[in-house]
Amino acid sequence: MAVALVVLILFFVGGTTPETAGLALSEPKFTTLALQLAYVYFAIAVLLTIGFPLIGIFTHPKGTGGFLIAGLVFIGIFVISFLLASNEPIPGVVNPANIPGPIKWVDTGLIACYFFLFLAFLGIIYSELSGIFRK
């Protein structure tokens, strides 16, 4: 936490790179450091997200079914998202990434996010309504 705070302070008050100094959109000097720290935090989050359920499977083997169902639903949402995604380049955009491959994957991620958002809202509504009817 302290490392993140130091990097945050350096990012905002550490000055700008010489190449972008004086421009309207200047790049902070410690952008690379901030991104590298974000990658480290992301890797830690992924390892913990995968690691704790795996530990749970080995310590409580009866709960494996729920983990597998959740994993299959997760994979199913991404497969459905991939099938619904478009790979048509965006008209009028001149960018090397405006090609079918990356566009298909970005669209897949967006559609999957919409599915997960919808499921989150359904879960909130269900938990609230089930609490009302239990009383």
Helix count (H) and strand count (E) of the chain? 4, 0
* Beta-bridge partners for 28: 16
Q: Give Dmax over CA atoms of the chain in angstroms.
A: 65
93: helix, coil or strand?
coil
Q: Return the pLDDT at 79.
A: 97
3-state DSSP assignment of residue 123: helix
Please compute the mean of the pLDDT values over residues 103-130 and round it to a whole number.
94
Handedness of CA 56, 57, 59, 60 (dihedral sign): positive
* 73/75 Cα distance (integer angstroms): 5
- pLDDT number for residue 119: 94
pTM across the whole model: 0.62
Q: DSSP labels for 13-74?
A: HS-B-TTTTTSSSPPBTTHHHHHHHHHHHHHHHHHHHHHHHHHHHHH-GGGHHHHHHHHHHH
Answer whether residue 41 shows pLDDT above 70: yes
